[in-house]
Chains A and B, each alone.
Chain A
Amino acid sequence: MNQQVKFYQTGTRTVGNRLLAPEQRAIQADIERTNSLNCGHRACQGCGEALGARYAIDAAMRAANNQLIAANATGCLEVFSTPYPETSWQVPWIHSLFGNAAAVATGIAAAMRVKGKPDVRVVAQGGDGGTTDIGFGCLSGMFERNDDVLYICYDNEAYMNTGVQRSSATPGGARTATTMPLGEHPGNPFGQGKSVPLIAMAHEIPYVATATVADLRDLEAKVTKAIGIRGAKYMQVLVPCPLGWGAASQDTIKLARLAKECGLFPVFEAEFGEITGVSKIRSKVPVEEYLRPQRRYAHLFGKTPRAEDIARIQAKADRNIKKFGLLDQGEA
């Protein structure tokens, strides 16, 4: 979504802004925000997933008048927040298995319906592995039945909790523990790709959106909108992982911003299978600028740079830019 308030020094780009009315500031600016995921959790320094989860669940709590239940797939988010019986969650929260968060959430939604509590809203959340791979069947079922659940996938592009193995969301060329930078084609093979947002759209569910931790206002607006819709909703939030990506801990938001600005991670929303909005690129950067700070791509920039691979990644970004119309008219 593009900037709402154009000027006022930083407009709506910063979390708050003393020059704007409180209701024009982000939910995260509020002293009274839920802090759904509280201090003391064991995520790594600069964890994008911890940040994304607090952003999303705080917004969901606000939108649901604090009537919210969250189901959580196995993965870093679950492990770092709840070493049993301790918890960082300040919302009703259920963990079951790695692959069944969508099904568990469907069950909770059904229970609320039976108990006559339509006000209670249900969120399911998990990593990309839990969503795009092992949980995919349950997720597709949830979509197809149009269950009243918002499913949020925190996409860090690999199985981070078990030591950075590749998932179907891992991008081409990236190094993981199972796609080492060895041989003729180092890193993750350049495959067909698997876009769960587009697959979700193919189910023609009421709402699908992507977001990143670099654009808080956009993320909050999308969660708020999703909570207000009955039926199946899907959001995929890009959450850089300093450990798995080999990036500096302070660069988490910067990398998410660059992923969007270079075109590799298109930020858009769709209703009933049709795209209804895209976040335009503000200042386009070559993919190199995004790739270089990440050690998972270091082999592309070694003594003999792999220009071909970089060009392939750039081509992917360019395809996205064209397909989603990420640049304003006249810019190319």
Chain B
Amino acid sequence: MNKPFAITLDPGSSLANHTGSWRTLKPVYGDRLPPCNQACPAGENTQGWLYHAESGDYEAAWRVLTQDNPMPAVMGRVCYHPCEGACNRGELDSAVGINSVERFLGDEAIKRGWAFEGQAAASGKTVLVVGAGPSGLSAAYHLAMLGHAVTIKEAGPLPGGMMRFGIPMYRLPREVLDAEVARIAALGVKIEYNAKVANIKEAMTQGGFDAAFLAVGAHIAKRAKIPAGDAARILDAVSVLRSMEGEEKPLLGRKVVVYGGGNTAIDVARTAKRLGATESIIVYRRNREKMPAHDFEVEEALQEGVMIKWLSTITQADGGSITVEKMELDAKGFPQPTGQFETMEADSVVLALGQDVDLSLLDGVPGLEIADGVVKVGANMMTGASGIFAGGDMVPSERTVTVAVGHGKKAARHIDAWLRGSVYEPAAKHEPAPFGRLNTWYYSDAPKTMRPMLDTVRRQSTFDEVQGGLDESTALFEARRCLSCGNCFECDNCYGVCPDNAVVKLGPGQRYRFDYDYCKGCGVCAAECPCGAITMVPEAI
């Protein structure tokens, strides 16, 4: 009251002046879903594990990764990495080499002998898993971690499914696969080999299982009707690749023709080359743009001397030769015959036309819905038969190791809930973190690190692994290329750029807090947050 003329304030600090009342927009922190995480069929928290790899804490990175996927060393070799296709950094220079960092972490874990931790207490429930392919192994891992007793019954003599009997070892060395399977088995998962399940109901009753997860894959080779002479040698791709794992290597001859355009065709052709074929030729009825095989695999095959005959179908096979007809793509992109024929020398023809599922173990199970040769499952991965879940190649979906692993995880979570008499509710998905939300000014310019490749001569004659891994320093570099899309990585920008000191830094690992008493809502923090973790929301006025 007793103030001098024209003085209205008390002596003191401006802290008395709560400028937060000026605000019409309010900044809020939030975690967003980065495109890599969103694109991962196995539901990996990619950005989350890269965050630990960035600081060189590889074990923490591996532990976050394996919360979703128990086989990073395998994934880092065979996954087709849709994460990299979605990675925001692709719009800046080139995508983060997520797959190569994953492989580094997987290899590091094998080298250092890291084991899974944090297994839940025994639930007293038992689950039968049919098939020790990626989907079955993934389900077994997640179920075991959740405390259930798991038995895997596997028809074959060794684990891995198509990872062993399909994918050639020049892409996936078997000791890597063995190491990652052993780690899952070490959780107490029982794997019975040469134990084909002929009837699922019987197997469940006999073993007293509370639930089952089926992941039998797709192993029956599709055939094409090719008129063939007696002397013609016609094989199928899965059998050829499977016999690569046995004592007796397949006899393909000097001139091998592979029929088909998928990744399997490429793998067989490259295998034939390594077995000593002078000519390994893929015959495919459409052109390169229409080929389902991935570009990089085609590229690698061509480098190794595999040849591809485009726009051709095989019309006749005889001993030592085949007849092909030239095709033409119609307006809709379908191949149409032209009536032009030619003969080619061929000691053998390997059909790589896809695989069907052997569903005989489900004969007589009521309630199942089968369409296009695969078993339908609900959003919870359960088939029409209560307590019988399924995933991987035998259900409708893309056929990849990663999808199979994702199915295994998802099914395990639903099986767990089902066994406990409840329903699994996945956590709500965060809002996406698109490129447009990033302030890319702040990131260092850094092109992608290339993985070393084995020289071509050795690729043509041996089954040594083609693609090398990153060493520690390059893996670290690659991890640090991550933009941490939509998730705070504690760069202190918000804390620094606020003209009103209204951001409180909470210390390492604790991130920040807004002091809404003083925040005027200018939005500078949100604009200058590199990763788009701050959103301005209207104040209720």
Residues of A at the B interface (CB closer than 8 Å) are: 3, 6-11, 13-19, 25-26, 28-29, 31, 35, 37-43, 45-48, 50-51, 54, 81, 83-88, 216, 242, 248-254, 257
In the complex, the answer to whether A39 meets B496 with C-beta atoms within 8 Å is no
Q: Tell me if B424 is interfacial: C-beta within 8 Å of chain A.
A: no
In the complex, the answer to whether A35 meets B495 with C-beta atoms within 8 Å is no
In the complex, the answer to whether A28 meets B495 with C-beta atoms within 8 Å is yes
In the complex, the answer to whether B443 meets A9 with C-beta atoms within 8 Å is yes
In the complex, the answer to whether B492 meets A25 with C-beta atoms within 8 Å is yes
Bound-state Cα–Cα, A42 to B55, Å: 40
A-B contact count (CB 8 A): 164
Closest 5 CB pairs of A and B: A16-B492, A15-B496, A250-B523, A40-B14, A46-B522
With contacts A85-B7, A250-B523 known, is A9 near B497, CB below 8 A?
A: no
Bound-state Cα–Cα, A41 to B19, Å: 8
With contacts A7-B446, A257-B441 known, is A16 near B490, CB below 8 A?
A: yes
Find the residue from B22, B517, B524 having the highest chain A CB count within 10 A: B524
In the complex, the answer to whether B14 meets A251 with C-beta atoms within 8 Å is no
Q: What distance in Å separates the Cβ of A162 from its nearest Cβ neighbour in chain B?
A: 18
Besides A28-B495, A46-B524, 19 other A-B contacts (C-beta < 8 A): A7-B477, A8-B480, A9-B482, A10-B530, A15-B491, A15-B496, A18-B508, A39-B15, A39-B502, A39-B515, A40-B17, A41-B500, A46-B520, A46-B523, A47-B499, A85-B10, A250-B526, A250-B527, A253-B527
In the complex, the answer to whether A35 meets B496 with C-beta atoms within 8 Å is no
Q: What distance in Å separates the Cβ of B301 from its nearest Cβ neighbour in chain A?
A: 35
Bound-state Cα–Cα, A87 to B14, Å: 5
In B494-516, which residues have CB < 8 Å from any A CB? 495-502, 505, 507-508, 515
Q: Which residues of A contact B527 (CB under 8 A)?
A: 250-251, 253-254
Q: What distance in Å separates the Cβ of B25 from its nearest Cβ neighbour in chain A?
A: 9
Residues of B at the A interface (CB closer than 8 Å) are: 7, 9-19, 22, 54-55, 441-444, 446, 477, 480-482, 484, 489-493, 495-502, 505, 507-508, 515, 517-518, 520-524, 526-528, 530, 536
In the complex, the answer to whether B480 meets A39 with C-beta atoms within 8 Å is no
With contacts A8-B480, A16-B491, A29-B495 known, is A50 near B441, CB below 8 A?
A: no
Q: Which residues of B contact A39 (CB under 8 A)?
A: 14-15, 19, 500-502, 515, 517-518
Bound-state Cα–Cα, A43 to B480, Å: 38
Q: Which residues of A contact B493 (CB under 8 A)?
A: 14-16
Majority SS at the chain A contact face: loop
Q: Which of B18, B505, B518, B524 contacts A253 (CB 8 A)?
A: B524
With contacts A39-B501, A88-B14 known, is A250 near B19, CB below 8 A?
A: no
In the complex, the answer to whether A31 meets B443 with C-beta atoms within 8 Å is no
Can you list 14 A-B pairs with a CB-CB distance of less than 8 A? Answer: A10-B442, A10-B491, A11-B444, A29-B495, A29-B496, A39-B19, A39-B518, A46-B520, A51-B497, A84-B9, A85-B11, A250-B524, A250-B527, A253-B527
Q: What distance in Å separates the Cβ of A221 from its nearest Cβ neighbour in chain B?
A: 15
Name B481's closest neighbour in chain A (CB-CB).
A9
Q: Which of A9, A43, A216, A251 contacts B499 (CB 8 A)?
A: A43
Q: What distance in Å separates the Cβ of A182 from its nearest Cβ neighbour in chain B?
A: 31
Q: Which residues of B contact A81 (CB under 8 A)?
A: 14
Name B14's closest neighbour in chain A (CB-CB).
A40
Bound-state Cα–Cα, A129 to B480, Å: 45
With contacts A25-B492, A45-B520, A253-B524 known, is A14 near B530, CB below 8 A?
A: yes
Q: What distance in Å separates the Cβ of B419 from its nearest Cβ neighbour in chain A?
A: 41
Q: Which residues of A contact B481 (CB under 8 A)?
A: 9
Q: Which residues of B contact A249 (CB under 8 A)?
A: 522-524
Bound-state Cα–Cα, A276 to B68, Å: 54
Name B525's closest neighbour in chain A (CB-CB).
A250
In the complex, the answer to whether B491 meets A14 with C-beta atoms within 8 Å is yes
Q: Which residues of A contact B14 (CB under 8 A)?
A: 38-42, 81, 86-88
In the complex, the answer to whether A38 meets B492 with C-beta atoms within 8 Å is no
Q: Which residues of A contact B521 (CB under 8 A)?
A: 45
Find the residue from A13, A17, A28, A46 having the highest chain B CB count within 10 A: A46
Q: What distance in Å separates the Cβ of B470 from its nearest Cβ neighbour in chain A?
A: 15
Q: What distance in Å separates the Cβ of A75 from its nearest Cβ neighbour in chain B?
A: 16
Bound-state Cα–Cα, A86 to B3, Å: 13
Q: Which residues of A contact B515 (CB under 8 A)?
A: 39
Name A39's closest neighbour in chain B (CB-CB).
B518
Bound-state Cα–Cα, A42 to B522, Å: 13
Q: What distance in Å separates the Cβ of A289 from its nearest Cβ neighbour in chain B?
A: 13
Q: Which residues of A contact B501 (CB under 8 A)?
A: 35, 37-39, 54
In the complex, the answer to whether A13 meets B54 with C-beta atoms within 8 Å is no
With contacts A9-B480, A18-B508 known, is A40 near B518, CB below 8 A?
A: yes
Bound-state Cα–Cα, A10 to B490, Å: 11
Bound-state Cα–Cα, A252 to B505, Å: 22
In the complex, the answer to whether A18 meets B490 with C-beta atoms within 8 Å is yes
Bound-state Cα–Cα, A248 to B524, Å: 10
Name B521's closest neighbour in chain A (CB-CB).
A45
Q: What distance in Å separates the Cβ of B6 from its nearest Cβ neighbour in chain A?
A: 9
Q: Which of A11, A16, A17, A45 contacts B495 (CB 8 A)?
A: A16
Q: Which residues of B contact A46 (CB under 8 A)?
A: 499, 520, 522-524
Q: What distance in Å separates the Cβ of A54 from its nearest Cβ neighbour in chain B?
A: 7
Q: What distance in Å separates the Cβ of B444 from its nearest Cβ neighbour in chain A?
A: 5
In the complex, the answer to whether B7 meets A31 with C-beta atoms within 8 Å is no
Name A257's closest neighbour in chain B (CB-CB).
B441
Name B12's closest neighbour in chain A (CB-CB).
A86
Find the residue from B482, B491, B499, B507 having the highest chain A CB count within 10 A: B499
Q: Which residues of B contact A16 (CB under 8 A)?
A: 490-493, 495-496
Q: Which residues of B contact A31 (CB under 8 A)?
A: 505, 507
Q: What distance in Å separates the Cβ of A240 from its nearest Cβ neighbour in chain B?
A: 10
Bound-state Cα–Cα, A251 to B528, Å: 9
In the complex, the answer to whether B13 meets A13 with C-beta atoms within 8 Å is no
Bound-state Cα–Cα, A13 to B442, Å: 5
Q: Which residues of A contact B500 (CB under 8 A)?
A: 39, 41, 43, 50
Q: Which of B490, B522, B530 contacts A45 (CB 8 A)?
A: B522
Bound-state Cα–Cα, A88 to B13, Å: 6
Name B8's closest neighbour in chain A (CB-CB).
A83
Q: Which residues of A contact B502 (CB under 8 A)?
A: 39
Q: Which residues of A contact B11 (CB under 8 A)?
A: 85-86
Q: Which residues of A contact B10 (CB under 8 A)?
A: 85-86
Bound-state Cα–Cα, A38 to B17, Å: 11
In the complex, the answer to whether A28 meets B496 with C-beta atoms within 8 Å is yes
Q: Which residues of B contact A41 (CB under 8 A)?
A: 14, 17, 19, 500
Bound-state Cα–Cα, A251 to B536, Å: 14
With contacts A40-B16, A84-B7, A84-B9 known, is A9 near B489, CB below 8 A?
A: yes
Bound-state Cα–Cα, A50 to B501, Å: 10
Find the residue from A10, A19, A26 having the highest chain B CB count within 10 A: A10
In the complex, the answer to whether A28 meets B446 with C-beta atoms within 8 Å is no
Name A52's closest neighbour in chain B (CB-CB).
B499
Bound-state Cα–Cα, A37 to B518, Å: 13
Find the residue from A26, A37, A40 having the highest chain B CB count within 10 A: A40
Name A80's closest neighbour in chain B (CB-CB).
B14
In the complex, the answer to whether A9 meets B9 with C-beta atoms within 8 Å is no
Q: What distance in Å separates the Cβ of B87 from its nearest Cβ neighbour in chain A?
A: 15
Name A81's closest neighbour in chain B (CB-CB).
B14
